[in-house]
A and B are shown apart, each in its own frame.
Chain A
Amino acid sequence: MTALTYTAHRESIAEGRFVRVVNYHNTPMSGIDGLRDELAAYARRFESITLAELDGFFATGSWSSDRPGFLPVFYEGYRNSAEVAGPVCDELGLTGVFMVCTGFVDTPVAEQEAYARSHWIGLLPGDLEHPGERLAMTWDEIADLSQRHIVTPHTASHAGIADTATEEDFEREIFAPKRLMDAVTGQSAPAYAWLHGTQWGMSQRHDQALQQAGYRYLFCNTMIHRIG
């Protein structure tokens, strides 16, 4: 098991086992120009990484490009991830990673604001300009995004390890999101992320459940763990 220490991280990075990511949450339409400029700046310097390239690095220790790799990651499953971030990534030829709280997607539109407020899903003033409008992406949007990007669960209800204790919790937060995502995309959702980016090694029971569900990567605050 990877040591959760400064020393272990330093060694991994010093030996070339690292990747640059930018973590995004809400990407409102009002900020689309700024997002495009920011991602375009990264695209000029870095090579967008696909899932196949990430798999390849873990197998060989090599990237397919001479340019450093880069992953933009969009969390929660906001409607604007599909309507703003996805199209900007498409325009720039970037592969995005969309980490979706499947319970947010499944929540009735009329309840989505309250659901977000109840599950650490941050809202911006622009989200509330038209009260009652949908805030989460739809399963159709997820299916569409998955044709060009990496789309995968970020728990169901934006849960942390401490919130996931019973068998029912495990089913709802770990197993069901994988089945739902796979059924909609026709692919195997490759990765998972806990609320707060909790890393591998904090709970053997939770770690094993992620493997049993069929996830291959765990995205954390400081690492991407290959777990399957």
Chain B
Amino acid sequence: MTSAPLEAELALLRECQDRVLEREGIPMVLSLVSEVGPMPVVTSADVRAEGSALADSMDRVRAAVLPTSRDDDMGCLISVLQSVSYVDFGREGRA
């Protein structure tokens, strides 16, 4: 038996991944990182609030569909980001 949150988040993961990705856009929220020095602090309250909301969505999706995934499992991370990105802005582009 699966829980309601798991079913809902799995359905979302299927919706965003089971498309013709060869010709459809794949929305993603990408982290911006530097390998050549420190990243500057983001001071915009709006940008930080958006980021915080996205991070909360990541936690919710991960807790529902991949709660035992390793912290360094990049495959699971990609799935979480795909779901979060699809809900955040990808679905509206297809509307």
Contacts and interface: CB of A to CB of B under 8 A. Distances in A.
Interface residues on A, range: 35 or more
Among A6, A26, A31, A227, find the residue whose CB has the most chain B CB atoms closer than 10 A. Answer: A6
Given A22-B25, A25-B23, A223 B31 contact: yes
A199 B21 CA distance: 21
Contacts of A13: 29, 31, 51, 54-55, 58
Contacts of A203: none
A115 interface: no
A225 B33 contact: yes
Interface in B66-95: 69, 71-74, 76-78, 80-81, 85, 88-90, 92-95
B2 interface: no
Interface string A91-128: 00000000000000000000000000000001010000
Interface string A18-52: 11111111111001000000110110011000000
Contacts of B24: 24
A221 B78 contact: yes
Contacts of A166: none
A16 B27 contact: no
Contacts of A221: 28, 74, 78
Contacts of B62: 6
A200 interface: yes
Nearest to B24: A24
Contacts of B30: 18-21, 219-220, 222-224
B50 interface: yes
B1 interface: no
A142 B51 CA distance: 35
A61 B42 contact: yes
A61 B39 contact: yes
Nearest to B84: A13
B44 interface: yes
A57 B32 CA distance: 9
Contact of A45 (B32, B71, B76, B89): B89
Contacts of A10: 55, 58-59
B16 to A, nearest CB: 12
Contact of B35 (A17, A24, A38, A225): A225
30 contacts: A4-B72, A5-B72, A6-B62, A6-B69, A6-B72, A12-B33, A13-B31, A14-B54, A15-B48, A16-B48, A17-B39, A18-B30, A18-B32, A22-B27, A38-B93, A38-B94, A41-B93, A42-B89, A45-B92, A61-B39, A62-B43, A72-B25, A199-B74, A200-B35, A201-B35, A222-B31, A223-B30, A224-B30, A224-B32, A228-B36
Given A22-B27, A58-B40, A66-B46, 9 more contacts: A10-B58, A20-B85, A21-B28, A38-B93, A60-B40, A199-B74, A223-B33, A226-B32, A226-B36
